[in-house]
């Protein structure tokens, strides 16, 4: 997850920096540092990413079209 993906994911979920920090149980400054592109411990990035994924974001890796995010499809229990 890069800085832009974090911002996009947060925006897609309608979360503020404080909201994401609370979900990931990290300091607000940590989320801000990530989104500015500052280097963080990989374990911290994983915790933030996991919080965003749990909240409903799916990360799209670089595949020639650029890295991105999308909201997970909500399962409604219906088939077809």
In a domain, 50, yes or no: yes
In a domain, 16, yes or no: yes
Q: Please list the pLDDT of the chain residue by residue as tens digits (80 residues).
A: 999 999 999 999 999 999 999 999 999 999 999 999 999 999 999 999 999 999 999 998 877 677 889 898 876 544 44
In a domain, 80, yes or no: no
Domain range holding 17? 3-71
Provide the domain count of the chain: 1
In a domain, 76, yes or no: no
CATH number of 47's domain: 1.10.260.40
* pTM as predicted: 0.85
| Residue 47 CB neighbours (<10 A) | 16
Supply the angle between the helices 42-55 and 28-35 in degrees, to the nearest 10: 100
Q: Distance from first CA to last CA of the chain, Å, rounded? A: 32
In a domain, 59, yes or no: yes
């Amino acid at each position: 997850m890069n800085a832009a993906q974090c911002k996009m994911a947060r925006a897609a979920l309608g979360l503020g920096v404080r909201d994401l920090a609370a979900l990931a149980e990290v300091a607000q400054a940590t989320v801000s540092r990530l989104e500015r592109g500052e280097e963080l411990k990989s374990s911290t990035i994983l915790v933030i990413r996991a919080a965003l994924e749990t909240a409903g974001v799916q990360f799209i890796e670089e595949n020639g079209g650029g890295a991105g995010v999308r909201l997970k499809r909500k399962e409604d229990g219906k088939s077809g």
